[in-house]
Amino acid sequence: MPVLLCSDPPGSFLEELIGKYRMDVRWIDNDAPIPGSHFGAPEAGLIGNTLLVRNDTPLHSAFHETCHYICMDKQRRQQLHTDAGGGYDEENGVCYLQILLADHLDGFGRERMFRDMDEWGYSFRLGSSRAWFENDAEDARAWLMHYHLIDEHDQLTWTLRQ
């Protein structure tokens, strides 16, 4: 089964969800390069507060880049173009947060996020995104709580890292 694409959610749900973080979504023509894509099309791009996607951009990629935007500090966010940067702890926080964020998009959810991350080739020490999330992600969770991006119940705070 192929991964979900940005064109799969109905209506403007992706824009509404990402808009909660004061981000915009810009749709790129199907065969055009995606500006701000660190890995190249079909992967999502980031320029400033704009997420750039095509119809064939994997939804998990759009969520991953969105979570980079959420997790980076204000100074990096103001200079953002293509490479989100960040260290090991932030990258783990991004992966954890994208799993939580998936629960807020109808038709996606964490179960599908786990499957799509594994299908795409995300690599975790315990062999799968689910095993990592459930048994080895305490540091990522603590990092997100430290920056007030989630609360102690794994609920999103809908804020950006300062």
pLDDT tens-place string over residues 37-58: 998 899 999 999 999 999 999 9
**Cis ω before 42 (30° cut-off from 0):** yes
Residues 6 or more apart in contact with residue 91 via CB below 8 angstroms: none
CA separation, residue 107 to residues 18, 34, 125 (Å): 16, 25, 28
The type of residue at 123 is S
Q: 0.85 exceeded by the pTM?
A: yes
pLDDT for 121: 81
Q: How crowded is the C-beta side of 25, counted as CA atoms within 13 Å?
A: 23
- Give dist(CA 150, CA 144) in Å, integer: 6
Nearest by Cα to 14 from 26, 1, 3, 29: 26
Q: How confident is the model at residue 132 (pLDDT cuts 50, 70, 90)?
A: very high
Check if the beta carbon of residue 65 is closer than 8 Å to that of residue 10: no
Strands (E), 20-131: 24-27, 45-47, 50-53
Task: Give mean pLDDT, residues 70-89.
Answer: 93
